[in-house]
Amino acid sequence: MFEPNEWFTEVVEDEGSAFSLKVTEKLHEEQTPYQLIEVYATAGFGNLMVIDGFVMLTSRDNFLYHEMMSHPALFTHPDPRRVCIIGGGDCGTLREVLKHDGVETVVQIDIDEGVTLAAECFFPELTASNEDPRARLLFADGIRWIQETPPGSLDLIIVDSTDPVGPAVGLFTADFYADCARALDQGGILVQQSESPLYHMPILTDMHIAMRAAGFGDTRSLFFPQTVYPSGWMTATLAGKGDSALGAVRVADIRAKPFDTQYYNAEIHQAALAQPEFFRRALTTALETAQTAQTANA
Active site residues: 160
Could you give the C-alpha distances from 10 to 16, 39, 42, 50, 262, in angstroms and in order? 11, 14, 14, 10, 26
**Mind giving me the DSSP string for the chain?**
---TTEEEEEEEGGGTEEEEEEEEEEEEEEE-SS-EEEEEEESSSSEEEEETTEEEEETTTHHHHHHHHHHHHHTTSSS--EEEEEE-TT-HHHHHHTT-TT--EEEEE-S-HHHHHHHHHH-TTTSTTTT-TTEEEE-S-HHHHHHHSPTT-EEEEEEE---SSGGGGGGGSHHHHHHHHHHEEEEEEEEEE---TTT-HHHHHHHHHHHHHTT-SEEEEEEEE-TTSGGGEEEEEEEE-TT--TT---HHHHHT-SS--SS--HHHHHHHTPPPHHHHHHHHHHHHHHHHHHHHH-
Q: Treating both helix axes as pointing N-terminal to C-terminal, what angle do 277-297 and 201-213 enclose, rounded to 10 degrees? A: 40
Signed CA dihedral, 64, 227, 107, 212: sign only:
positive
CB 186 within 8 A of CB 242: yes
